[in-house]
Amino acid sequence: MAADAVFRIAGLKKSFGPNQVLSGVGLELRSGEVAVLMGANGAGKSTLVKVMSGVHAPDGGAMMLGGRVFSPKSPAEAIRAGVVTVHQNINDGVVAALDVATNLTLDRLSGKGAAALFNPRRVQREARAVAERMGLDVDLKASIADLSLADRQMVAIARAMAHEPKVLILDEPTSSLSSAEANRLFSLIERLKEHGVAILYISHRMSDIRRLADRIVSLRDGAIAGTFEARPLDYEGAVNAMLGRTVQHGTVEARAAGETVFTADRLAIAEGVLPISLTLGAGELVAVTGLVGVGKTALAETLFGLRAPRAGTMTLDGKAYAPQSPRDAIEAGVFLVAKDRAENGIVGDFNVYENMSLPFLRRISAFGVSRRGAERALARGQIKDLGIVCRSEKDELATLSGGNQQKVMVARWLAQPARLMMLDEPFQGVDIAARRDIAAKLRAEAAGRATLIFVTELDEALETADRILVMSEHTIVGEHRNGAIDMDRLLAEVAGQKRRAA
């Protein structure tokens, strides 16, 4: 193992106003090594990354790169020095209006000494070289706007790699990648390690961490809470250090369903796919799992009235249910906490209580005039119930950490009784503590309604659900009762092997 620290941080401090986010962080990155940075939401990971990548200037402390002081004044300067970051927000990494080839070579187009004239053929040539080196399998002429999130992410990473960095920072790079794509990324990381690149890898995914980590650094409350590099790596200890408490690996006590709430009969959610039939009962929490892009979101949207099914019928409480719009669905008591909260959930100009009251404003209003007192009381109740960390219900949502933002999104829909409560990727970008809070709340309030969560991570399903449905190719291919799960069969179904065999 390479012993030289290429990148060294000592006593790094950063505050925003009265809020000290980093209180003396020390960190070493060694060439040819993957250091995994773990931390709950709000621990300061994002800020640390932003300081390292030149977005923010530190208030105190020092950074050294290859023995020299490293104090980038801008992201561009950091990149030139050899510290390259792939940010969590995918759309920060790519320009949606341009094609893949231009995106891959974007930095060269604007850098010093770049030719004034845009030569599409040279761009194509250079882009092809970058793509081949990275094993990127995307049409170079495609527009970024037409690509899936996963493909956009791959393009962003490929472009970062094109700089041949000394230090590569990956901020939750796999959060929207399928496992095949993640595997491509992992083999790429292996290759970069061989070339002596020092990698800082930020992730919540234990599977990623187990696969990649040479060393685990746990960040808690703006300081390093523990460094783990003795073989075999102490994952439990790292999680422990990050959370400051022991994570329970308790299994779920699977509950039986009560009376039937929702049924779907031969429901086809896309053209030319096998239909779905399912029954959801009161009081049970059902997880639908499967890889990215197998139709989980499409199913959620069909049930929520956002898209019309190609065939089949649905019933709710025994009556025919065919919502034409989310409004119909909400009227009927079918709620959806959509995935990608920044895009589909958060109203940025609104504070916490305004965000919470959004779907049910009509029910809180009198003669069209919203009753702020009632809104705020409701919000205070939810903040207490879900343990949302904020100063008051009047906080702007953007001041909250990701986990707390997600809690607000969930609270928005828990405010009114539902018949069918759906949550699409409710644990996306949420730290483990918040995830457990949300899951506990969902289970505690499950009585009297059907609850359906859509998760890609199997762990999340196993941790929360009474029953697990597996999706593949836009249909349901397997069903399991939690507690007595044949993991081999489940994994095979997730991988789509069952249908191939059939």
Partner 1 sequence: MSPRELAVRYGFLVLFAALVIYFALAAPGFVSPQSAVFVFQSVAITGVLALGVTATLVVGGFDLSIGSVATSSMMAAAYAMVVLDQGVFVAVAACLAIGIIVGLINGFLIVYMRVPDLLATLGMMFLLVGLQRIPTEGRSIAAGMTMPDGSVAPGKFSEAFLTLGRHRFDFFTPNLVPVSVVVLIVLAVLIWFFLEYTRFGRMMYAVGSNERAAELAGAPVKAYKIWAYVISGIFASIGGILLAARLGRGDIASGNNLLLDAVAAALIGFAVLGASKPNAFGTAIGALFVGVLLQGLTMMNAPYYTQDFVKGAVLVVALVFTFALSAKAKR
What is the DSSP track for 120-153?
Answer: HHHHHHHHHHHHHHHT--S-TTSBGGGS-HHHHH
Interface stretch with partner 1, choices 41-49, 149-157, 212-220, 321-329 (CB under 8 A): 321-329
Of 172, 354, 395, 463, the one binding partner 1 by CB under 8 A: 354
Residue 79: how many CB atoms within 10 A of its CB?
Answer: 19
Which of 279/399 has CB closer to partner 1?
Answer: 399
Of 338, 408, 458, 469, the one binding partner 1 by CB under 8 A: 338
Which residues, other chains included, contact 341 with Cβ-Cβ below 8 Å and sequence gap of 6+? 405, 406, 409, 428, 429
Helices (H), 11-137: 45-52, 75-81, 90-93, 100-104, 106-110, 120-134
- Compute the half-sphere exposure of residue 482: CA atoms within 13 Å on the CB side of its CA: 26
Q: Is 429 in the site for partner 1 (CB under 8 A)?
A: no
Q: Is 3 in the site for partner 1 (CB under 8 A)?
A: no
Q: Is 59 in the site for partner 1 (CB under 8 A)?
A: no
Q: Round to whole Å and give the CA distance between 306 and 422.
A: 13
- Least separation, in Å, of the C-beta of 334 and partner 1? 10
Of 330, 386, 422, 432, the one binding partner 1 by CB under 8 A: 330
The residues that bridge with 201 in the sheet, in sequence order, are 36, 170
- Identify whether the C-beta of residue 419 lies closer than 8 Å to the C-beta of residue 261: yes
The amino acid present at 239, given as its one-letter code, is V
Torsion over CA: 336, 356, 243, 342 (sign)? positive
- Least separation, in Å, of the C-beta of 373 and partner 1? 12
Interface of this chain with partner 1, residues 26 to 55, rule: CB under 8 A: none
Of 350, 381, 485, 498, the one binding partner 1 by CB under 8 A: 350
Which of 257/358 has CB closer to partner 1?
Answer: 358
Q: Is 209 in the site for partner 1 (CB under 8 A)?
A: no
Say if strands 60-65 and 365-366 run parallel, antiparallel, or are unpaired.
Answer: unpaired
Q: Is 253 in the site for partner 1 (CB under 8 A)?
A: no
Q: Round to whole Å and give the CA distance between 463 and 454.
A: 13
- Least separation, in Å, of the C-beta of 53 and partner 1? 17
Q: Is 92 in the site for partner 1 (CB under 8 A)?
A: no
- Least separation, in Å, of the C-beta of 344 and partner 1? 5
Which of 149/233 has CB closer to partner 1?
Answer: 149
The residues that bridge with 424 in the sheet, in sequence order, are 454
Q: Is 343 in the site for partner 1 (CB under 8 A)?
A: yes
Which of 12/408 has CB closer to partner 1?
Answer: 408
Residues in contact with partner 1, counted by CB under 8 A, come to a total of 32
- Least separation, in Å, of the C-beta of 427 and partner 1? 18
Q: Is 373 in the site for partner 1 (CB under 8 A)?
A: no
Which residues, other chains included, contact 274 with Cβ-Cβ below 8 Å and sequence gap of 6+? 268, 473, 474, 475
Q: Round to whole Å and give the CA distance between 102 and 111.
A: 13
Instruction: Name the site residues for partner 1 (rule: CB under 8 A).
Output: 17, 304, 306, 325-327, 329-331, 336, 338, 343-350, 354, 358-359, 361-362, 364-365, 368-370, 396, 398, 412
